[in-house]
Structures are given as structure tokens and as C-alpha cells.
Amino acid sequence: MRPSSESFVRRVRSKLDELSSTERLLADFLLEFPGELASYAGNELAQLAGVSPSTVSRFIRRIGYDSYEEARRHVREEQEVGSPLFHGSSAGAARQVRSVTAHFQQSQANLAATFERLSDATMAEIARAIVGAPQVLIFGSRSSQAFALYLRWQIIQVLPRVTVIPGPGETLAEYTAGLSERDCVIVFGTRRQTSQMDRLLQAAVRAAAPILYISDHASPDCTQARWSLQAQCRGPGPLDNHVGVMALCDLLATLVIDASGAAGRKRLAAVEQEHEELGDFE
């Protein structure tokens, strides 16, 4: 079977939800260092990723290749195109993990990879949808809750009905029960999410509410989302680098504030006046 035009990384991402725990270990490794597949034999790759050779074989078939060599040729073809993603190595990352320069360069690379996928037209459409929604629900669990809280903190200055869900002691049902096709649901789907995320996505689909899905290179796609934004979160060490996610939040907030127009400026002025009346910053 000849590889399709679908990239190697896209093949891996499309199967993440179907993988066993050991196959997911291999997938995570290859999403970080896809070029390693072209550099090593199957048993060597298994040792690098900490899995068995049989896991490598199963994984290769699961993502649509007839053989390891076929997958290897496909990755080599993508290396020849010049993508920097396919030229990093796990050995190099291990040597550079404590380097300030390595972290800075990775942050720059993540920002570039994140923003090169964006278009002005799509981002403007998203901003208008958020501004026009009767309510905006933002979800993120685990570390992604910080992104949800930050985005809400920024755009609530011009939009009054923005909520991070669920709140302490609450369930999703208190919010999804009244969800409509006019509302907007923003979901941060960066990796290692809880099962709550899937339940919220299902509820939003049932209500026909438009979904903005923000994920990373190591997370499955959300086919039901109206808009999908993917941040590059590769890190030089064991932790993901979330510079790209925060930059997306800043971009979204800026565009929403701009799209809110006169009504947004009026609310912003009222908020500032209340700060003075309440002495919030004295």
C-alpha cells in the first residue's frame, strides 16, 4: 500500500484514541521525535521508546502502513521536504534539556509552528462568533484549566456572560441543560484531559452549539468542532511548553475586544469606573 498524502504525524494523531497504553507511549515518543523512525531499525526504536518490538509492529499497522520499512520511507520523504519537526533527535533533546538557550529556541519554534497554521479570516470569524453568543462557556481540566481561566479573565472585560465550567462543587449538567445553537463553547483539549471533556463535547454537539477546540500536537483531533486550533507544545524536557497556547489566548482576547466594538468599550469603561468606586487597586 502506498502512503497517502496524509502526513506521518497526522496519521499518528488520528489514531490516538484507539491506542493501547504501550502503543500510546510509542505515539507520544514519535510525536516528539518523528524523525527517529527513519534513523533506527524497529527493535532500536522500541528500545528508545521503552516498548517492545511487537508494539512497534502493531502500531505501524494500526496507523495504516503495511510494514515498518514503508513507514520509514514515508518519514524520510517528509525529512527531505525540510520540516524541522523531522530533524530533532531524542539524544539531542536529552543533552539540551537544561539549556536556557534550548528552552528559548523551543519557545520560538512553538510560536512559529502555532501561528503559521492560523488565518486572519478564521480568527476574525471566531472572534465574531464569541462576541455574538448569548453565553460563552470555557472548559479546560487539569493544567488546561489555567488557560480557560486566563482567557475568561481577559474577555470578560468586554463580554459579561463568559463562564469557566464547571465551578467548584458543580457538574456540567447545570450548564449544558440550557445550551443552544447560539451559544459558543470553547474547549481546551491539550493532552491528558479528563472524561468530562468528552461529555461536554457530546452535549455541545447535541445542542448544535459551535465549538472552538484548542489542542496540541499530541492530542486527538475533534472532528465535531467548527473551529480547531492546534498549538505546538513540544518541550526540550519532560514537560510540554505551553507558550503557543498562551499566545493563542492573547490573540483571541485581543480580537474579541476589538470585535466587541462600542458595546465592549462601554462595558470596559464601566468596569474601570467600578474599580475606582470600589478601590480595587488601592
The verdict on 144 and 272 lying in the same domain is yes
Task: State the residue for C-alpha cell 459579561.
Answer: 160
- Count of beta carbons in the 10 Å neighbourhood of residue 30: 24
Q: Can you give the CATH number for the domain in which 70 is found?
A: 1.10.10.10
Is 236:97 a contact under the CB 8 Å cutoff?
yes
What is the identity of the amino acid at 195? S
pLDDT on residue 29: 87
* C-alpha–C-alpha distance, residues 148 and 40, integer Å: 40
pLDDT (0 to 100) of residue 89: 55
- Domain identity same for 92 and 117: no
What is the predicted pLDDT for the residue at 88?
56
Query: Is residue 105, in this structure, part of any structural domain at all?
Result: no
Check whether residue 163 and residue 64 sit in a common domain.
no
Looking at the fold, whether 118 and 209 belong to one and the same domain comes out as yes
Q: Is residue 2 part of a domain?
A: no
- Asked if residue 154 and residue 83 are part of one domain, the reply reads no
Identify the pLDDT of residue 159: 95
How confident is the chain (282 residues) per 10-residue block, as mean pLDDT?
66 89 90 82 90 94 93 83 56 58 90 94 97 96 92 95 92 92 95 86 96 88 92 80 95 96 91 88 78
Query: Considering its fold, how many domains does the chain have in total?
Result: 2
Sequence-distant (≥ 6) Cβ neighbours of residue 165 within 8 angstroms: 137, 138, 139, 172, 175, 200
The helix/strand/coil state of 168 is: coil
Q: Which of 163, 154, 170, 155 is nearest to 135 (CA)?
A: 163
Q: Do both 219 and 271 map to the same domain?
A: yes
3-state DSSP: the chain helix, strand, coil percent, rounded to 5? 55, 10, 35
Q: Is residue 19 part of a domain?
A: yes
What is the model's pLDDT at position 86? 61
Q: How far is CA 98 from CA 112, 124, 237, 240, in A?
A: 22, 39, 8, 14
Are 207 and 89 in a shared domain? no
Specify whether 150 is located in the same domain as 222. yes
Whether 159 contacts 271, CB under 8 Å:
no
Helices (H), 50-89: 53-62, 68-81
Domain extent, residue 200, equals 112-278
Question: Is the bond preceding 236 in cis, omega lying within 30 degrees of 0?
Answer: no
Is 186 inside a domain boundary? Answer: yes
Indicate whether 101 belongs to any domain.
no
pLDDT computed for residue 55 by the predictor:
94
Can you tell me whether residue 142 is helix, strand or coil?
coil
Cα 244 to Cα 234: distance, rounded to the nearest angstrom: 10
How far out from the chain centre does Cα 184 lie? 18
To 10 degrees, the CA torsion angle through 31, 34, 40, 44? 0
Nearest CA among 29, 90, 35, 26 for reference residue 61: 26
